[in-house]
Amino acid sequence: MNAVNACRLNDLDGKAGFWFVLQDLSVRTEGTFRLKLSLFDIGSGTNTVVPESQGPTHGKGPCLAHSFSEQFTVYSAKKFPGVIESTPLSKCFAQQGIKIPIRKDAPKEIVNANEYEADD
């Protein structure tokens, strides 16, 4: 189980919102999966005292909401179809300082190689 904090970021339209970015998420088993995402109120201050050994927040709270992600597929190294282009939203978040891997644009193909050769 992983925990992440909300980040205040602007979306593609410049509208501010709170986003939960899972930049360290990895799955090492081949297959098809969905993520269960739960939102807990651990900062309300009521009935949140638990022993130190139970976690860094020293608290617990009610589940306010939960949802499931769309399905995604994890491939073995031999079956991996290749890296897809970074989404516009990922690029937008990276420009705001979120540390996520962004794929660089592929180099443009040379249409006519002779056009770039030096004159003799």
In a domain, 38, yes or no: yes
- Which value, to the nearest 10 degrees, does the dihedral of the CA atoms of residues 86, 28, 30, 82 take? 30
Q: Which domain holds residue 22?
A: 7-78
- List, for residues 34-43, the tens digit of each pLDDT value: 999 999 888 7
**Residue 10, helix vs strand vs coil:** strand
In total, how many domains does the chain have?
1
In a domain, 86, yes or no: no
- List, for residues 84-94, the tens digit of each pLDDT value: 899 999 999 99
pTM across the whole model? 0.67
In a domain, 107, yes or no: no
In a domain, 111, yes or no: no
